[in-house]
Structure 1
Amino acid sequence: MATSSTILRPSRKNSKRADRYDFLSVSWVDSTGREHSRRASRRLRTAVPADAEIWPTARLNPTLFAQSSASPSTRLLDGVLQCDRDVHPTDIAVCTVVISCDAEAHVVPIFVTGSSGDPLLVELSDTHLPVFVRVAAAIIGWRVVMLPELSGVERRNLRMVKGARDAVRTSPVDVARVLSAAESPMSIGDLCQSVDCEGPEQAIPIVGDLLWRGRLTADWTQLFTLDTIVTRHVAAVPGRA
């Protein structure tokens, strides 16, 4: 699975240098289509997600972007799915945040609330982020998560698994059966055949949901088929090699 890298908040020492950026401003469009623009300050920490159009990731549906003021790109829709899979936010805001510094401006395409309740700016790139964006995030109290560019195959897998898990009706018993059967590497087809979930086809959405949540692992860079090998993800135990 592709991993994300998080830009940590600058240290207090570095934050003291933020006075040089007191002209930083943040702009966004709220759920009613009204545009806002304010100077970067701690007061903005929760203002943007409170204003934005938000839906819980438990019912994540990229077609909701069609109701926004701007027409979304395929990269943005795939980025929303990638964010849901890799960041595991509690909700995602349908808004872009523009951070400006003098004559420069940078668009951060996705705004989410993390599992800890903290607002996160999600950047669909892991190569470069302007320094003034990092400074603005530090002033406001936001974190920035950078997601790597996906290959075409990874994007197809995202859409395929998203479609499969939409139909999932999991029960703790069925999930436990799938995870138990997947302790040793096996193909998705064999895994579904080995689990008694009222027919092999009933297990496919469960496998997809577990792949999405990282409880099953597979090579996302190869196109998923029934021959794709999956195995149960085992979390590392602190203190063990």
Structure 2
Amino acid sequence: MDQQQIEDAIKSDLITIKTLRLGIVSGRDYYFSILGWIFKLSLLFLGVNTILQRAMHAVGYYLPDLSLKGLLIAWVCALLASTFMSFTAARIILIGKLIKGQLKTASLIKSKYLHFTAVFFLIYSVSYLVVTFPVIGWMDLSDFQQADKEIWFTIFYLAFFQFFSLITASVGTAFISMIELDRLGLGPLFSVARDLIKNKGRLASHSRLEDHE
């Protein structure tokens, strides 16, 4: 899509969203979608973390052995990180299901979502390496090898770097995505959709109160 086509599509979608009659997404479909998103993201985190750790090991840094216990702990940490991110993703998933197939900018939004995902993991990987290298380099090798035998150290080692990088990547990606969406003119589209969902929730709450009365 060229710039003029994007502008026309956004104008059309703004009108479409404002006049939409939103239905109800089934709880089974909605919650299973969130759980599936969390599971897939946790596996992606696990894969990225493992690659980064093996890369550091390849250049001479001592790291905990790749064991079943280590992988299980790493996956639990990744699962917690993915669950933390799902609080934001849940609203996006809901909006996507409510307006599915009704927006002309759907393909553009999907491509930007993939771009922002790539940006997120790029920032995450750089943050992970920037924080891990100094800490591991500062520690005495013999102390590191001894501590590696303790499960608390394995949990700390896997969780601390991951969650620090997660926060850094989340803030960085949010900032970049906000700028890029505003540049394309998609910002107002998301604002209208978000307000529409909120109003729908308020109307549903008022309706339930009136039924009780």
Q: Which has the higher helix share?
A: 2
TM-score, scaled relative to structure 1: 0.22
Q: Which has the higher strand share?
A: 1
Greater Rg by CA: 2
TM-score, scaled relative to structure 2: 0.24
